[in-house]
Amino acid sequence: MSVTMPPQHPVEDPKPTQGKSLTKAAKAKNTLTSPWATAAAIIIALVWTIPTVALFMTSLIPGDRYRTDAWWTVLADGGLTFDNFNQVLFDSFGDNSTAPPLLEYVFNSIVVTVPSVVFPVVLGLMAAYAFAWIPFRGSNFLFVLIFALQVVPLQLALIPLLRILGPDNLGLAGEFGGVWIAHTIFALPLSVFLLHNFVSHIPREVLEAARVDGASHTQMFFRIIIPLSLPAVASLAIFQFLWVWNDLLVSAVFGSANTYPLTYPISNLAGDYGQYAYLVPPAAFISMIIPLIVFFSLQRYFVRGLLAGSTKG
Amino acid sequence: MGSTALSGRSVIAAGDLGADFWASQGQNLLFAGVAIVAFIAIVALIMFGADLIKGGARDKVQLVVLVAPVLLLLGVGLIYPAVDTAWLSFNEITQAPDPDTGIYTTTMQFIGLDNYRFAFSDPSTLRTILNTFVWMILVPLLSTGFGLAYAVFIDRAKGEKVLKSLVFMPMAISLVGASVIWGNIMYDYNQVGEQTGMLNALRELVGLDPYNFLRDSPWNTFWLIVILVWIQTGFAMVILSAAIKGVPAEMNEAASLDGASAWQRFWRITVPSIRSTIVVVLTTITIMALKVYDIVRTVTQGRDNTDIVANRMYVLSFVEGREALGAALAVILFIFVIPVVVYNVRSLNKVKETH
């Protein structure tokens, strides 16, 4: 999707260089900053932050007060407690007391996510190298096709792909293997495109020197392409990690009770306003902890990945 | 198992999980680990195997090894299914007992455009399509608008990085999580007693009656759209902010020497300079907005006229077993994105030509 972005090196630091050399006066003139703009920025920042804080506070309300008391009321009388987290994680999470604990879904999310990140990144890098550096007939057409596939709604593929993975064919639907394959397929267009953007900007001399030395494609891939594209691989991996961890559709269609990740039971119980509704906020908060850690610790790479151009199929 | 030093209650609770639980979770983790190692080993083996070939065939075989997995997976897993779905949408699936054997068999019958005719004439499905259209228009406009405004407001401000992170953070949250935040907490509505929802508490504070955000059609669709805008604004902001920083400072300086106000500079310099990036952001979010089903599924399940095509497609295909109609809705989604596909491919080719 970065097609209209400058066709330079895609992972350049987005930080400006010219801004730093400006004088203070020029800086001030350059911005729109006025008291109104500042006020608007603060309001936006608050509206974008408070809801998440409210989720955390709500998850601390004891179950018997969830219906009737708001979190600020419970906070004021000192009734907030971490009990819900214990109950959700280790006891049970669902519309009855025999439902499995959320911890089971935490593990499912990990098992679903990690291979679903590794597979498309490896396969994507291989294809990206071929499309960028090995001339062959149909190369351009195939690359444009893969690029176009990025925006095809994955809804279009769900029914037949489920049949292919289903009991009559591969027998992988409802298993982790089926979910991995589905996630891998849907990630490939973005993976190939994003890595191609990066790999194609490796200096030609580097590859030609190796070629002259008699290196084969395999040797070039392992000796040059992999080490040099690690930054792009990191960006893509983070992107794909957040995507898969937060996905609901693919897991709902290709998974089963044995494989459902965190999003699935939370989505189900969120619309159920019964006696276990108070378990939803703590569960939702738990589901966000890992992606938020990944996000805040690796934000730089994530932003680079976004800037390198990304739409998600 | 539970003997680890956890505080009282959780020892009991964690102990309740039992050895079975840990055994099966450990097995799953091991399975994932083995799958990754095996995958990498197989890929490496094939690639080095292809390296042993002597002579002119070597390069060709290695090229095939590099591109074949992706082409095969996309062909079998995306292109063929897309074509198959398109074909399915022109058919009707019926289950009837075979007249001779009495065994129930599934038959597919070509019915032309009937599924589409139904989709556009059945009031609730038509409503679903119109709602999707509203999402497709409002989400990109609002996200890009807020994102651009915020990016400009905080550009080179003190603490810009932190301010960016705050608005960008929802990008890390799942749509399900965001739906819980808004649907169960912000929009919560109680008929009697204290208002536990934050927005209704706020309304009470300023003397307004509590409002049932999720029931009041057609505005409830708008309140659902707000959730996706809340997520996507960070994306728009980050991309646009990077573009704004690419606008030469001299242009702004020259304009302000000519007496242009900040507002005029924004419209005459900033916006035209980053126009192409704005288009990229708008189209990316448009596509995103079309496909999102998580929010509707989590918050309203499509009740009260809030359904959208992506959710209805899921329900028809995987809950109600009406795959052919579901397929037609998937194709309708695709038709919505065709202009974007064409635009993207044309700009890609332009970039390639100038390269």
Query: Which tokens belong to B187?
Result: 């929009």
Judged by CB atoms closer than 8 Å, whether chains meet at B165 and A107 is answered as no
Residues of B in contact with A15 (CB under 8 A): 245
Give the chain A residue nearest B154 (alpha carbons). Answer: A41
User: What sign results for the dihedral spanned by CA atoms A92, A94, A100, A105?
Assistant: negative
Query: Which tokens belong to A36?
Result: 């109104």
pLDDT at site A24? 45
Residue environment code for A177-190, b if the CB has 16+ CB neighbours within 10 A, otherwise e: bbbbbbbbbbbbbb
Contact by Cβ (8 Å): B336, A147: no
Residues of A in contact with B80 (CB under 8 A): 160
Judged by CB atoms closer than 8 Å, whether chains meet at B73 and A189 is answered as no
Judged by CB atoms closer than 8 Å, whether chains meet at B314 and A189 is answered as no
Say how far apart CA A54 and CA B328 lie, in whole Å.
40
Query: Which tokens belong to B236?
Result: 């728009």
Residues 6+ apart with CB under 8 A from B168: A299, B234, B235, B237, B238
The domain spans of chain A are: 18-91, 102-307
In the structure, what pLDDT confidence band is assigned to residue A36 with cuts at 50, 70 and 90? confident
CATH of domain B123-354: 1.10.3720.10
pLDDT at site B16? 65
Judged by CB atoms closer than 8 Å, whether chains meet at B66 and A126 is answered as yes
Burial-class residue A126 by CB neighbours within 10 Å (0-12, 13-18, 19+): buried
CATH superfamily of A102-307: MetI-like (1.10.3720.10)
Of residues A8, A14, A11, A13, the one with CA closest to residue A233: A11
Residues of B in contact with A197 (CB under 8 A): none
Element containing residue B199 per DSSP (H, E):
helix B198-205
Beta bridge partners of B94: B107
pLDDT at A28 over 50: no
Beta bridge partners of B105: B96
Say how far apart CA A91 and CA A103 lie, in whole Å.
9
Distance from CA of B182 to the nearest CA of A (A): 7
Nearest to B284 among A158, A285, A311 (CB): A311
Give the chain A residue nearest B32 (alpha carbons). Answer: A111
Phi and psi angles of residue A87, each rounded to the nearest 5 degrees, phi first = -60, -45
In the structure, what pLDDT confidence band is assigned to residue A4 with cuts at 50, 70 and 90? very low
Judged by CB atoms closer than 8 Å, whether chains meet at B152 and A37 is answered as yes
Tens place of pLDDT per residue across chain B (355 aa): 333 333 434 444 455 678 889 999 999 999 999 999 999 999 999 999 999 988 888 999 999 999 999 999 999 999 999 999 999 999 998 888 877 887 888 888 899 899 999 999 999 999 999 999 999 999 999 999 999 999 999 888 888 889 999 999 999 999 999 999 999 999 999 988 889 999 999 999 999 999 999 999 899 999 999 999 999 999 999 999 989 988 888 888 888 888 888 888 899 999 999 998 898 899 889 988 998 999 999 999 999 999 999 999 999 999 999 999 999 999 999 999 888 888 888 887 877 776 5
What does the H/E/C string look like for A227-285?
A: HHCHHHHHHHHHHHHHHHHHCCHHHHHHCCCCCCCCHHHHHHHHCCCCCCHHHHHHHHH
Distance from CA of A55 to the nearest CA of B (A): 6
What does the H/E/C string look like for A138-179?
A: CHHHHHHHHHHHCCCCCHHHHHHHHHHHCCCCCCCCCCHHHH
Phi and psi angles of residue A217, each rounded to the nearest 5 degrees, phi first = -60, -40
Fill in the DSSP letter of residue B103: -
Residues 6+ apart with CB under 8 A from A119: A180, A183, A184, B39
pLDDT at site B221? 97
The domain spans of chain B are: 123-354
Say how far apart CA A238 and CA B206 lie, in whole Å.
43
What pTM value is reported for the model? 0.89
Fill in the DSSP letter of residue B185: I
Residues of B in contact with A284 (CB under 8 A): 176-177, 180-181
Say how far apart CA A260 and CA A256 lie, in whole Å.
6
Distance from CA of B301 to the nearest CA of A (A): 7
C-alpha of A263 from chain center: 13
The interface predicted TM-score of the complex, written ipTM, equals 0.89
Q: Mean pLDDT throughout A187-208? A: 92
Residues 6+ apart with CB under 8 A from B83: none
Distance from CA of B123 to the nearest CA of A (A): 22
